[in-house]
Structure 1
Amino acid sequence: MTAFRTLDNDDISVVISELLVATADACDPLLDGSVNEVLKALRERLGLDVVFVSEIVDGRRVFRFVDSNGRTPTLRPGDSNPVEESFCQRVVDGRLPGLIHDAMQLPPGTDVPPLPFRVGAHLSTPIVLSGGRTYGTLCCFSSASNDGLRDKDLATLKLCAQLVARKLETAAALGLEEPPADWSLEPMARYDSKVWALP
């Protein structure tokens, strides 16, 4: 669904809201399709290099979905590292803000983990399940700084995180232990969108 790439940030927020409504009861339990396209479109609209969904498992951050511009460090689904070596854990527990214009310009003494590559702009939000458990994080980042990022961009990322949480809970309710390599998030029921239409 490359149509998402023609949308502006406000329209992407509308699409995410519509997917939250449309997939509340009738949805594909696997995780891909529309949400992948929305995440990719959001990354492109924000001018960032990478977007990913991570799960925190036994002290590790496991990448479950990754989309990048191909010019950044290679992150692949299934890769993992200690969660304490990540921005993700620091955002979850409040040591770092969800919106960072340039990580290299954070005040001295800020708890930033050592990284094998440069991180400039960074947007991150926890993926919180309905019972209150934090599954992991939804993050976007780039090697360059980005002063154009706004609180509304973080708000849009938070909407995406709600959508991912809903799909994870649907999968769990159907007895799927973890998302397969090819996530599927296409709504099964058709609905009329004010912004886009399913094929």
Structure 2
Amino acid sequence: MHMLDYNPDDLDVTISEMLVATSDSADHELPEVVPAVLKLLRKRLGMDVAFVSQIADGRRTFKAVDNSPDFPLLQPGMSDPAEESWCQYVVEGRLPEKIDDAAPLVAAGKMPDPGFTIGTHLSTPVRLADGQVYGTLCCFSRGVHAEADIDRLRYTANLLGEKLSPGAMEASAH
């Protein structure tokens, strides 16, 4: 199946059903279904890595990760200084949410060098209901996939932010 042979609305519905149908978890804890959502996003968008990070206390921590089988780069629990991360740059508006080809920007010193090639990079903040940034939802590929849809990521990040917000389940029951 070619990655463009799907209806984006179908993907949104599937992701929504996966996240909304999960049982309630403690506030600020990722639902157990998130790795499956990441895998679906990564495959549908043609990316090598998809992850949810949490930015807190000056650190970016990978909370859930899905890697392409041939590119086992990141693992949940890995952490680094937030200020050195592309995630923080996106949250602060220093980088756009969608970069078609990041390699020339890294080569020119305009972005931190991750130590491996990144072509297309998609990243969007995950915001809680009160507007506070939890972290980011990101995916990237080693190659260039300019057709990758940032709106799918934004939609999922919004659902995730709602799910992580205190009292989310009580509010949705009314």
Q: Could you say whether these structures have the same fold, taking a TM-score greater than 0.5 normalized by the shorter chain as the test?
A: yes
- Percent identical among aligned pairs is 48
Q: 1:36 to 1:170 in 2, by over 3 A?
A: farther
1:163 maps to which residue? 159
- Partner of 1:116, secondary structure, is coil
Q: Cα distance, 1:109 vs. partner?
A: 6.2
Taking the aligned partners of 2:103 and 2:6, their CA distance within structure 1 comes to: 31
Taking the aligned partners of 2:115 and 2:106, their CA distance within structure 1 comes to: 20
Give me the CA root mean square deviation: 2.9
Q: 1:116 to 1:107 in 2, by over 3 A?
A: closer
Q: 1:63 to 1:108 in 2, by over 3 A?
A: closer
How many residues matched?
A: 163
Taking the aligned partners of 2:93 and 2:109, their CA distance within structure 1 comes to: 12
Taking the aligned partners of 1:165 and 1:87, their CA distance within structure 2 comes to: 20
- Partner of 1:158, secondary structure, is helix
2:31 maps to which residue? 31
Gaps in structure 2 of 5+ consecutive residues: none
Equivalent positions of 1:1-199 (< 5 A) are 8-18=7-17, 22=20, 27-29=23-25, 31-33=31-33, 35-106=34-105, 111-149=110-148, 153-170=149-166
Q: Cα deviations across residues 134-161 of structure 1 (Å, max 9, x unaligned)?
A: 0100000011111222xxx211111111
Q: 1:15 to 1:73 in 2, by over 3 A?
A: closer
Q: Cα distance, 1:64 vs. partner?
A: 0.2
Q: Which has the higher contact order (CA 8 A, sep 6+)?
A: 1
Gaps in structure 1 of 5+ consecutive residues: 1-5, 175-188, 190-199
Q: 1:77 to 1:108 in 2, by over 3 A?
A: closer
TM (normalized to structure 1)? 0.71
Taking the aligned partners of 2:143 and 2:132, their CA distance within structure 1 comes to: 32
- Partner of 1:14, secondary structure, is helix
Q: Cα distance, 1:171 vs. partner?
A: 8.0
Taking the aligned partners of 1:77 and 1:171, their CA distance within structure 2 comes to: 26
Q: Cα deviations across residues 88-128 of structure 1 (Å, max 9, x unaligned)?
A: 01111111111111101349867301211111110000001
Q: Quick one: which amino acid aligns to residue 75 of structure 1?
A: L
1:180 maps to which residue? none
Point out the structure with max Rg over C-alpha: 1
Taking the aligned partners of 2:122 and 2:82, their CA distance within structure 1 comes to: 17
TM (normalized to structure 2)? 0.80
